[in-house]
Chains A and B, each alone.
Chain A
Amino acid sequence: MSKRIALKDLIMVDGVDLSTFARSWSAPSEHAREDVSGFNSTGADEFLAGRTTQDATVEFYGSYGSGEVHQTLYPIHRDKDVVWLQIRPDQTAEVSASNPELRGNVQLLTYGPGANRGDVEAFSATFTPADAAGLSYVIV
């Protein structure tokens, strides 16, 4: 498996390809660390994996054209809609074991574009899983 430079990533929200309006993404998945330590001879702590917390954060450029970032994200946030999110490393290749796609039904709980004079307008949007399936990587 080769290393890669992130250039061709796919970011699709509610079926809209926003890849060209995005410049970074991250999708942390974390299990809560539950302390189940008891008295023992070594004094070592013992943990079990608890609740799973996931989200996907994408940094978008501000864009207000037809079918672009604002027209896609704002109604989803305003109406508390549940939409399909897809993220994969290579938009030019099909989903596969070497091009896994992160998928899930999500909501956009916070929508906060902003701008600074003279700077490129960009902001982060965090998508939160909206059902028990969460966000998962698929390879087919």
Chain B
Amino acid sequence: MTTIKLDKKYEGMCVALVDRKVVLYDKDISKLTSAALKKYPADKLTITSVPKSDKILIL
């Protein structure tokens, strides 16, 4: 199992991860993506959102 532990402050944000750690975050995914791609090579990065943990996933 792969564990990514995120601080509560990232909930509701978009985050850029490098080595499973948050390196950038923003509410706006376009701003985040643009900044992250300028700063880090794509093969090291992962972009994702952090849905609030109290929400039940119904997919």
Q: Do A and B share a complex?
A: no
